[in-house]
Amino acid sequence: MLSKRDYEKQIAASRDKRMKWWRNARFGMFVHYGLHSVVGRHEWLQALEHVPVKEYEKLAKQFKPKPDAPREWAKLAKKAGMKYMVLTTRHHEGFSLWNSKANPYNSYNLCGQRDLVQEFVDACREFNLKIGFYSSLMDWHHPDGWECANNRDARIRFNDYIEAINTELLTQYGKIDILWYDVAQPLRSWEAWNSVEMNQRLRKLQPDIIINNRCWLDEDFGTPEEKIKVENRDWEACMTFNGISWGYLDSEQALPYSYSPQQILMMLRECTEGGGNLLLNIGAMPDGSVPPEAIEPLTTVGKWLKKNGKAVYGKQDRINGWHTGATKMSRQGNKVYAWVQIWPQGGKTCFAGWEAKLKSAKIFATGEKIEFTQKDTRILLTGLPSESPDPIANLTLVELEFCSKDPKNNLLGNNPQFKGNSLWS
C-alpha cells in the first residue's frame, strides 16, 4: 500500500487522462432517491425527526418504485443536455438501492427484488450517460455507524463495512465512472476512515474512476455545495433544484422555489466561465417519478444547449480581467461569449475594456453577423435585431471573435475618465 503522499502523487499523474471526459462534460444530473422520498420531508428526515431505526425501517414496506423510474431520470438528463448522472446508491439512512450481501437493508431484499442501481446503470448506458455512484460514509442504520467514533473495534468493523459495500458497487455493475462520497462523519480524518488504503483498493477495481473530495482527501475534484464557487482545481457545484432539499419535497410546495431555465442557464454560465461543472439535483418522487417542476425547465435548457452547447461543453478559458454588468461572459480561446439575458433596445450595445482587436461579431446560434465599430477599448455593436434572437430561453449568446488568442479585459485599467473617442453619436 502506498503512503498518502505517494498515493496522491500516483493519482495526480493519471488525473488529466481520467478527467478528460469529465472536464468537457460540464453538466450532470444528481438524483436523490431512497426511503426518505416516501415521506417527502427532506433526505435528512431520520435525523431531523429523530426517528428510531426500527420505526424508520418500516418505510421499506411503502417504498414502491415504479417500473422504469431510473430510465425516466436518464431520459430527461439526456434531453437536458446532461452528460453524466450521480445516484444516491445509499444515503445517510443506510438503505442500499441494490442487491447487497454486505447490507441486507436494501431494496432488493425488502422491496420486491428491485436492484435500482442495476436499473440506473442500464438506463445511463441506454442514453450514453457516464455513471456516478453517490455513497454516504455517514450511516444512521448500521450499529457501528455512530459507535465507530467511540470504539476502535467498531471503527474497524465499520471501515470494513463501508469498503465492502463500495466494493460491491464497483464490481457488480461494470464500468463505473465516478465515486461520489458524502459526509465523512462521525470520523473526522482520512486516517480514521482508512481512506488512503480503501481508495487505493477501490481504484484497482475501477482504474479510470474519478473520486470526489468528501473522504477527508482532496482526490480528483472539489464539491462546492449549493453555491457556485470557482476553485483553483477541478470542481463541480452540486445544486438542489430549489435551494432547499436534495430529497423529494411536495411538488406544489416546492414549485415557487424551483429554478427556471434562465436560472439554470446562468448557473451553467458561471460553471462554464469558471471551468467547473454543474451537478443539478432532482429529488425523485415516492414512486421514483421525476418531480413535475423539473421537467419543463430541464427540457428547455436542453433545447437551448442543442443550439448553444458548443460554447458550453469542452475546454474553457477564464476571462482575463473584469467582466461585469447586465451581460456576463465566458471564453474559449479567442472567442468571448456574451450571455445576453436583457436584450439591448435601440439596435445597439457596447462592450468596453477589451484590449484586443475584434475580428467578428455574430449571433452564435444562427451565425448571423453583427456590425461593429471598435475605437480603442470600446466596441459598439449596431444593427441588432429588436428582440432577443433566442426563442428558447430569451438568452442569446453573442460571439465576439478577437484577433488575439488570449483577449484581455481591462475595464477600469485605462481609466483616465475613459478617454475621448465618441461612439455614441
Q: Which is nearer to ligand GLC, 254 or 397 (CB)?
A: 254
User: CB of 45: closest distance to ligand GLC in angstroms?
Assistant: 10
Give the separation between CA 175 and CA 415, rounded to whole angstroms.
55
Q: Which is nearer to ligand GLC, 12 or 47 (CB)?
A: 47
Burial class (CB in 10 A: 0-12, 13-18, 19+), 284: buried
User: CB of 116: closest distance to ligand GLC in angstroms?
Assistant: 16
Q: Which is nearer to ligand GLC, 244 or 266 (CB)?
A: 244
Q: Which is nearer to ligand GLC, 196 or 238 (CB)?
A: 238
Q: Which is nearer to ligand GLC, 9 or 233 (CB)?
A: 233
Burial class (CB in 10 A: 0-12, 13-18, 19+), 416: exposed
- Listing DSSP states for 93-136 in one string gives T--BSS--SS--SBHHHHTTS--HHHHHHHHHHHTT-EEEEEEE
User: CB of 101: closest distance to ligand GLC in angstroms?
Assistant: 25
Asked if 354 and 379 count as a contact pair (C-beta separation under 8 A), the reply is: yes
User: CB of 389: closest distance to ligand GLC in angstroms?
Assistant: 37
Answer whether the bond into residue 52 is a cis peptide, omega within 30°.
Answer: no
Asked if 308 and 397 count as a contact pair (C-beta separation under 8 A), the reply is: yes
- Listing DSSP states for 242-276 in one string gives SSS-SS-B-HHHHGGGSPPHHHHHHHHHHHHHHT-
User: CB of 188: closest distance to ligand GLC in angstroms?
Assistant: 15
Q: Which residues of 290-318 are buried (b: 16+ CB within 10 A; e: fewer)?
A: bbebbbebbebbbbbbebbbebbbeebbe
Which residues form the interface with ligand GLC (CB under 6 A)? 43-44, 182-183, 225, 238, 246
CA of residue 275 relative to chain centroid, distance: 12
User: CB of 168: closest distance to ligand GLC in angstroms?
Assistant: 20
Q: Which is nearer to ligand GLC, 44 or 127 (CB)?
A: 44
344 DSSP 8-state letter: P
User: CB of 182: closest distance to ligand GLC in angstroms?
Assistant: 5
Q: Which is nearer to ligand GLC, 46 or 330 (CB)?
A: 46
User: CB of 238: closest distance to ligand GLC in angstroms?
Assistant: 5
Pull the grid cell for residue 125. Answer: 448506458
Q: Which is nearer to ligand GLC, 69 or 238 (CB)?
A: 238
Sign of CA dihedral 322, 327, 330, 332: negative
